[in-house]
């Protein structure tokens, strides 16, 4: 039961994060004032933080070993991408980050 | 348009007392040090101020530098001056102050003195927004490339007239950047951590000036430096009527005068004691 609630919470956070990232890729932040754009990215940071926390919580509470590993990997993925990203390759890594969030959603709800 | 400036006495009619290496702040330019530099030059010092790596004409450059580039730049400029002058002082504002301390850590006694203005070892000033708590997450993920914190009121200046002038200049974009890129913050914080860990190696005389109402970094930074450094000759001055940009604010004349007095008091004699011949 608790696991199901955690999964729903994680899924919702991942979905909102995904939308925020996709809208950013579509250029919404360029249409906002600098302060609003700054608020937008800050909320992304907030949701990313929650996404990471819930990925690790799920990794702890999920009973199957492989699932623990995969969820921990999703939790750590933003830091790995953050370590690898360079200014010239920021679009590529943005795409990889979005893909990771989509995969985590698929993993939690379908697999 | 280059904002670098070198103010040198000709060495024949006017012999300089020494050299002062000036280092500007994050997203700033040597322009912010111009009046200060001119004042020191008028009082007998050769003054050198150049743009730090990543602060050139293209805004994108700030995304490609790391703090090691800044350190290498400061070290190389200091070494060059040291080969030409007996007395070389290092002074900086914000990031420049942190770099000045790094120079002091590496070259120790070779540095005649350090003037550290609005030293930024922590980003904990009152101007920073409530969501600064998300900064660690933004800095260590891809978000640091998405986010530029916009330059906003009070622009580090308490004096309203000066603030408006700064606003106009920033709007033109000729004298500094209008945003603080998070990548720049990340490098600044990494440099600050590097300096915090080694600041006890600083032995040269030091003058620390920090504003009580600094909007970007609280007095904690200055206090940490003052407590940790090994310099026996150290002075810490708190300003009560300025914000971060102490060289432009209400107490700028006081800062200029204090700096000059510090430089004059720490000039080493041109002749070394070893040069004397016993008869």
ipTM of the complex: 0.91
B275 located within any domain? no
Provide, as residue numbers in chain A, all residues whose Cβ is less than 8 Å from the Cβ of B140: 78-79, 82-83
B279 located within any domain? no
Size of interface A-B (CB pairs under 8 A): 65
**Would you place residue B275 in the very low, low, confident or very high pLDDT band (cuts 50, 70, 90)?**
very low
Rg (CA), chain B: 18
Give the pLDDT confidence score for residue B269 in this predicted structure: 65
Q: Looking at residues A39-60, what average pLDDT do you find?
A: 93
Query: Which residue of chain A comes nearest to B178, CA vs CA?
Result: A34
**Would you place residue B273 in the very low, low, confident or very high pLDDT band (cuts 50, 70, 90)?**
very low
Q: What is the CATH number of the domain that holds B59?
A: 3.40.50.1820
What pLDDT digit, counting tens, does each position of A10-34 carry?
A: 999 999 999 999 999 998 888 888 7
Give the pLDDT confidence score for residue B277 in this predicted structure: 47
Chain position carrying tokens 């580039």: B69
Whether the pLDDT of residue A9 is over 50: the answer is yes
B140 located within any domain? yes
Q: Looking at residues A2-15, what average pLDDT do you find?
A: 91
Q: How many CB atoms lie within 10 A of CB B264?
A: 13
B167 located within any domain? yes
Q: What is the total count of domains within chain B?
A: 1
What is d(CA A88, CA A29) in angstroms, rounded to the nearest whole number?
19
Structure-derived torsion over alpha carbons of residues B152, A23, B64, A33, reported in degrees to the nearest 10: -20
B276 located within any domain? no
> Which two structure tokens, joined as six digits, stand for B73?
């730049």
Tell me which residue range forms the domain holding B91: 5-265
- Is B141–A34 a contact, with Cβ atoms under 8 angstroms apart? no
B278 located within any domain? no
Give the pLDDT confidence score for residue B156 in this predicted structure: 83
Give the pLDDT confidence score for residue A62 in this predicted structure: 85
> Which two structure tokens, joined as six digits, stand for B166?
């700064």
Q: How many CB atoms lie within 10 A of CB B165?
A: 14
Give the pLDDT confidence score for residue B175 in this predicted structure: 58
Q: Looking at residues B84-108, what average pLDDT do you find?
A: 95
The DSSP line for A75-103 is HHHHHHHHHH--STTHHHHHHHHHHHHHH
Give the pLDDT confidence score for residue B186 in this predicted structure: 92
The answer to whether the peptide bond before residue B154 is cis (omega within 30 degrees of 0) is: yes
Q: Specify the pTM.
A: 0.88
Q: Does B148 touch chain A (CB under 8 A)?
A: yes
B180 located within any domain? yes
Edge-first strand order for the sheet with B5-7 is B5-7, B45-49, B18-23, B88-93, B113-117, B206-211, B234-239
Tell me the pLDDT of chain B averaged across its residues: 88
The H-assigned helical ranges of chain A are 2-25, 28-31, 34-61, 65-84, 90-109
B94 located within any domain? yes
- Is B147–A90 a contact, with Cβ atoms under 8 angstroms apart? no
């Amino acid at each position: 039961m608790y696991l199901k609630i955690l999964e729903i919470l994680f899924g919702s956070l991942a979905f909102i994060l995904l939308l925020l990232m996709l809208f950013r890729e579509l250029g919404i932040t360029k249409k906002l004032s600098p302060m609003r754009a700054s608020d937008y990215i800050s909320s992304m940071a907030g949701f990313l933080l929650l996404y990471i926390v819930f990925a690790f919580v799920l990794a702890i509470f999920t009973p199957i070993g492989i699932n623990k590993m995969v969820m921990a990997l999703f939790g750590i993925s933003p830091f790995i991408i953050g370590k690898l990203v360079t200014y010239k390759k920021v679009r590529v890594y943005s795409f990889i980050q979005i893909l990771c969030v989509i995969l985590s959603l698929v993993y939690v709800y379908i697999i | 348009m280059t904002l670098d400036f070198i103010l040198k006495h000709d060495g024949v009619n006017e012999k300089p007392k020494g050299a002062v290496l000036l280092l500007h702040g994050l997203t700033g330019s040597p322009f912010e040090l111009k009046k200060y530099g001119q004042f020191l030059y008028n009082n007998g010092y050769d003054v050198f101020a150049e743009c730090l790596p990543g602060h050139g004409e293209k805004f994108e450059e700030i995304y490609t530098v790391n703090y090691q580039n800044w350190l290498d730049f400061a070290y190389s400029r200091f070494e060059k001056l040291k080969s030409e002058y007996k007395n070389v002082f290092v002074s900086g504002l914000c990031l420049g102050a942190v770099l000045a301390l790094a120079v002091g850590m590496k070259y120790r006694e070779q540095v005649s003195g350090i003037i550290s203005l609005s030293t930024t070892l922590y980003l904990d000033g009152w101007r920073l927004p409530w969501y600064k708590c998300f900064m660690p997450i933004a800095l260590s993920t891809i978000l640091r490339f998405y986010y530029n914190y916009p330059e906003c009121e009070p622009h580090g200046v308490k004096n309203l007239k000066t603030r408006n002038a700064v606003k106009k200049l920033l709007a033109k974009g000729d004298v500094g950047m209008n945003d603080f890129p998070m990548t720049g913050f990340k490098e600044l914080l990494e440099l600050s951590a590097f300096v915090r860990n080694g600041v006890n190696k600083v032995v040269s005389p030091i003058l620390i000036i920090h504003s009580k109402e600094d909007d970007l970094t609280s007095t904690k930074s200055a206090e940490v430096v003052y407590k940790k450094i090994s310099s026996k000759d150290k002075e810490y001055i708190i300003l009560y009527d300025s914000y971060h940009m102490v060289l432009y604010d209400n107490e700028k004349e006081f800062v200029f005068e204090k700096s000059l007095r510090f430089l004059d008091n720490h000039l080493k004699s041109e002749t070394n004691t070893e040069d004397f011949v016993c008869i």
